[in-house]
Structure 1
Amino acid sequence: MTTWLLIASNGAAVLTGLAALYTILELRRQRTSSYKPDLTFEPLPLYMYWTGRAGDFSLAFSSEPISSEPVASDNGFHSLRLNCYNVGFGSAKSVEAKWELDVLEFAHDLALIDPEGHIRVWKDEGTVMVESTEYSVMEAHMNAGQFIQPVGHVLPIAVSDKPTLIGLPSLYLTLYAAHIRLMASILMGDSELRARLSSYEPPPGLKLTLEYTDLGGGTHSQRFSVEPGFFRLSPIPKEGGWGDAVHGEVRIIPVP
C-alpha cells in the first residue's frame, strides 16, 4: 500500500511539473507574440506629369495631384516614397529595405512594343544605359544606396500612426518614365503603331524585402511585390510645358 501511495505521489509531482513547464512555455510564447512586429503598406496614388523639360523623359512623379507647375519643377520630382506601417504589437528595429529589379526583363518588355528601338536599355558594368532617339544617352547608376536602404525603427501604429517612408530606387523611376514616354508616343501614332498595344503587358515591378529585429532580438523578413499601374494616360502636350500624364496607383502585395 505504501509503495502505491509513493508511486501516485511521484506521478502527481511529475504531472504538476509538466503543467508548470507548459505554463512557462505558453507565457513565453505569448510574450514573444506580444512584441512581434508586422509591417504592411497602403496603396500609393500615382500621378505623373509632362514637364516640357529635358531629362527624365520630361516626366515628374508625385503621390498627390498637382494643379499647376511647381516653382522647383526640376527638383524633388524624380522620387516616389511608399508609406510603411507597423500593425503588430512591438517595434521593428534596425529595419533594412532591399530592392530587386530585373533590368533585362524590363528592357525586353520595352522592346516588345518598340522593335525599332526608339528607347534602348542595357547594362554596362554596374551602370544602366537608357538611350532615346529624342534624348542623349542617360546613365543610371546601380549604386547600392538605391537598392539597400537603412530605414531605422518602425513603431506600432498604436504608438504612432505616422507612416515610415521608403523610397523607390531612382533607376526604376527612370525606366518607368521611359516606358510611359514610349506608350504616349505609340498612342499618338498611326493605327498600325497603336495595334501593338493589343498584346501590351505592364512592365515588371519591383521586389522588396524588409529585414528587421524585434524587441526580443528575434530576426524577421517580409517580402512584397511593388507594382505600379495606371488608369489614365494623357498625350504629350503639343505646345510643350506642364500637363497631366498619368493617373494610377502603386500596389504593394505581400509575397508568402
Structure 2
Amino acid sequence: MMELLTSPEAWVALLTLTALEVVLGIDNVIFLSVIVSRIPPAQAEKARKIGLALALIFRIALLSILVWLIGLTEPVITIAKFALSWRDIILIVGGLFLIAKATHEIHAEVEARDHDEQAKASPSAFFWVIMQIIVIDLVFSVDSIITAIGMVQDIEIMVAAVVIAVGVMYLSSGPVAAFVAEHPTTKMLALAFLVLIGVALVADGFHFHIPRAFIYVAICFSAAVEFFNILAKRNRKKRVKSTAG
C-alpha cells in the first residue's frame, strides 16, 4: 500500500481513472436528475442519496469480484461470426430501457397529462423510482468498472477512483436536479440526452462503438444553447418588469 502512495505512476493512474469515472458518471447524474423530478421534493432528495449510495455499493461490489466481471466479456451467444457476451446483453437491455423510459417521459411532458401529477404523489412512486435507479446503476456500474479494469491493475486505485468519482457525482447531482426542476425546458433536453446515451449503449452492445467524446460534445453544445435561452428569457422578464414599473 505504501508503495502505491509514493509511486508517481499510481497517482497518475488514479487521476486518469478518476477523471474517466467522473465523465462516465455524467450519464448517471442526468438520469437521476430526471427520474427524481417525478416525485415530491422531500422524497426526491432521499431517492437521489439512495441512488448514489447504490452506485458506490455496486461499483465496489463489482470490483471485489473481478474474475467474474472479466468473465462477462466472454461470448455466450454466437450467430455466424457475431458473438454477444453478458456485458453486451446488459448494455443492450440497459440502453433499450433508457430509450423506452426517456421516450415515455417525453410523451408525458408533451401531452402534459393530469394523471402524471397524481402519480407523482402516489405511495408507490418512490419505490418505482428506486427500482429504476437500481437498473441503470447496474448498467453504468458494469460498463464503468470493466473500463477501469482495462486501465488499471491495482484494485486499491480502482476503489479510490470510484469513491472520489461518486463523491463528485453526489456534489453535482443536487445542483443539476434543482436546475432541471427550476427550468422545465431543460428536462426535455435531458430526456433527449438519455435517448442519445441509450442509443450509444445499444450500439456498444452490438460492437458498434460511438466515441463518447462525440456524445459529450453534443451534450455540452446543446446545454450551452439552452443556457443562453434561459438567460435571454430571464433578461426579457427583467426588462418587462422594469418597463411596467
For the pair shown, the structure with the greater C-alpha radius of gyration is 1
Which TM-score applies when normalising by structure 1?
A: 0.28
**The structure with more helix, counted as a fraction of residues:** 2
Q: Which has the higher contact order (CA 8 A, sep 6+)?
A: 2
Which TM-score applies when normalising by structure 2?
A: 0.29
